[in-house]
């Protein structure tokens, strides 16, 4: 009879990394469908290119490290990294943008740190930040959502634009926006609702004036609120399946809501309210799919609460006073740097070694000395 070493009795679910990552990928499907509907075929094309690049880079790195490429590819971590990065960039960005971003995430952020479970930073967000800093024009070239544009390029047109940055009729992405939306609408529709608000405020407009733009005919920007709600639905599936714990997403959303509420009371003409912060940009994607990365996040329950609150605070400060309209990637990376100190001061007390136990030990020691 062989002796089998299993996980501790309190670990009720023995899911493998491959199974967990597969559930995460499936939970992203509602958000991906919403993005495809509102922003066109480029979303799916970016995902396909990202996944192919991720698996190729993963296989090459595993071979270089003399590891089994087939066994390493089955853990699905490269798949999740590719999906997170692909849905974060503009759908019609040049093909080489996603290739560079995914290759950097897999090769540099993941494997140069030792592979699965060893990375200090979230690979997808590190790749996103590299792309945003290196190629700011390409990374901010979003088309308006379908509700404003009326239609988006066909599948073949999207492929042509991604390959050559021109449609078959010879229009660039910027010209295509004007053709699709008209010059007047193009003048008021920015890359995202958050970017539109930032641009208007920098020109001296008030928040209420900025919110009159056509893109804000919905709750928090046409299309964007539905994308966020779709990722919220996927995040609830992750919670229901116990793939993630509630501490990080709840801490992020509660802290961000608190900051937005205070800001809208203090400066209602310059600081957006709850709906804008919670349902625009990458808020729900970041709260449920990015910040909850088990490798780069805090480990204890108290630590996760602090970690999530720190991310939300950084997101709010960068969105409100920083140089970028959305701040999820920067906030997550900065919080990743703080994880060691967060874990140090929030680690659970070992049974029998708490303050009460130490006090009882000192009292017992004093009593024995007094008796002697």
Q: Phi/psi at 116 (nearest 5 deg)?
A: -60, 130
Domain match, 250 and 160 both: no
> Whole-angstrom Cα distance, residue 247 to residue 251?
6
Domain match, 184 and 72 both: yes
Domain match, 242 and 319 both: yes
Domain match, 120 and 231 both: no
C-alpha distances out from residue 199 to 261, 267, 336, Å: 22, 17, 29
CB-CB contact of 39 with 144 (8 Å)? no
Domain match, 222 and 171 both: no
Domain match, 56 and 162 both: yes
Q: Phi/psi at 172 (nearest 5 deg)?
A: -80, 175
Q: pLDDT in tens for each of the 372 residues of the chain? A: 555 555 555 445 577 888 999 999 999 999 999 999 999 999 999 999 999 999 999 999 998 888 877 767 888 999 999 999 999 999 999 999 999 999 999 999 999 988 888 889 999 999 999 999 999 988 988 888 887 777 788 999 999 999 988 888 777 777 766 644 444 444 444 457 888 888 888 888 888 888 888 888 777 888 899 999 999 999 999 999 999 999 999 999 999 999 999 999 999 888 998 999 999 989 999 999 999 999 999 999 999 999 999 999 999 999 999 888 888 999 999 999 999 999 999 987 766 555 555 555 556 555 555 555
Domain match, 271 and 302 both: yes
Of the residues 190, 223, 244, the one at which a domain ends: 190
Structure tokens at 73: 């590819």
Identify whether 232 is part of a domain: yes
CB-CB contact of 273 with 260 (8 Å)? yes
Query: Residue 117: CB partners within 8 Å, gap ≥ 6?
Result: 295
Structural domain boundaries enclosing 133: 15-190
Identify whether 105 is part of a domain: yes
Counting Cα atoms < 13 Å in the Cβ hemisphere of 297 gives 28
Residue 359 CB neighbour total at 10 angstroms? 10
CB-CB contact of 290 with 327 (8 Å)? no
Counting Cα atoms < 13 Å in the Cβ hemisphere of 258 gives 10
Domain match, 168 and 86 both: yes
Domain match, 233 and 326 both: yes
CB-CB contact of 141 with 93 (8 Å)? yes
> Whole-angstrom Cα distance, residue 70 to residue 74?
7
Identify whether 251 is part of a domain: yes
Identify whether 79 is part of a domain: yes
Domain match, 27 and 156 both: yes
Q: Phi/psi at 145 (nearest 5 deg)?
A: -65, 165
């Amino acid at each position: 009879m062989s002796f089998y070493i299993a996980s501790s009795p309190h670990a009720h679910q023995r899911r493998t990394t491959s199974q967990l990552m597969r559930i995460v990928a499936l939970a992203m499907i509602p958000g991906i469908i919403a993005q495809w509907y509102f922003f066109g075929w480029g979303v799916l094309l970016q995902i396909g290119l990202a996944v192919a690049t991720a698996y190729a880079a993963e296989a090459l790195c595993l071979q270089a490290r003399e590891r089994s490429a087939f066994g390493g590819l089955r853990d699905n971590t490269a798949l999740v990294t590719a999906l997170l990065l692909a849905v974060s960039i503009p759908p019609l960005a040049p093909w080489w943008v996603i290739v560079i971003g995914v290759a950097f995430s897999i090769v540099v952020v993941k494997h140069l740190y030792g592979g699965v479970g060893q990375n200090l930073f979230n690979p997808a967000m590190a790749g996103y930040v590299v792309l945003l800093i290196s190629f700011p024009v390409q990374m901010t070239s979003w088309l308006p959502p379908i509700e404003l544009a009326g239609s988006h390029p066909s599948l073949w047109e999207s492929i042509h634009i991604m390959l050559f940055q021109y449609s078959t009729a010879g229009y660039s992405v910027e010209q295509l926006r004007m053709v699709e939306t008209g010059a007047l609408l193009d003048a008021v529709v920015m890359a995202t609702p958050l970017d539109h608000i930032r641009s208007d405020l920098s020109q001296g407009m008030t928040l209420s004036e900025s919110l009159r733009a056509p893109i804000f005919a919905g709750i928090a920007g046409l299309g964007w609120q539905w994308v966020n709600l779709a990722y919220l639905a996927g995040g609830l599936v992750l919670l229901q399946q116990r793939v993630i714990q509630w501490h990080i997403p709840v801490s992020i959303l509660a802290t961000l809501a608190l900051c937005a509420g205070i800001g809208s009371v203090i400066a209602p003409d310059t600081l957006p309210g709850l709906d804008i912060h919670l349902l625009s940009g990458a808020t729900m994607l970041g709260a449920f799919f990015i910040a909850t990365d088990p490798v780069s996040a805090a480990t204890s329950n108290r630590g996760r609460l602090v970690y999530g609150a720190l991310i939300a605070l950084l997101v709010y400060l960068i969105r409100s006073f920083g140089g970028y309209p959305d701040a999820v990637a920067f906030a997550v990376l900065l919080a990743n740097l703080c994880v060691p100190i967060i874990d140090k001061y929030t680690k659970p007390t070992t049974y029998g070694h708490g303050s009460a136990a130490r006090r009882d030990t000192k009292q017992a020691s004093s009593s024995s000395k007094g008796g002697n």
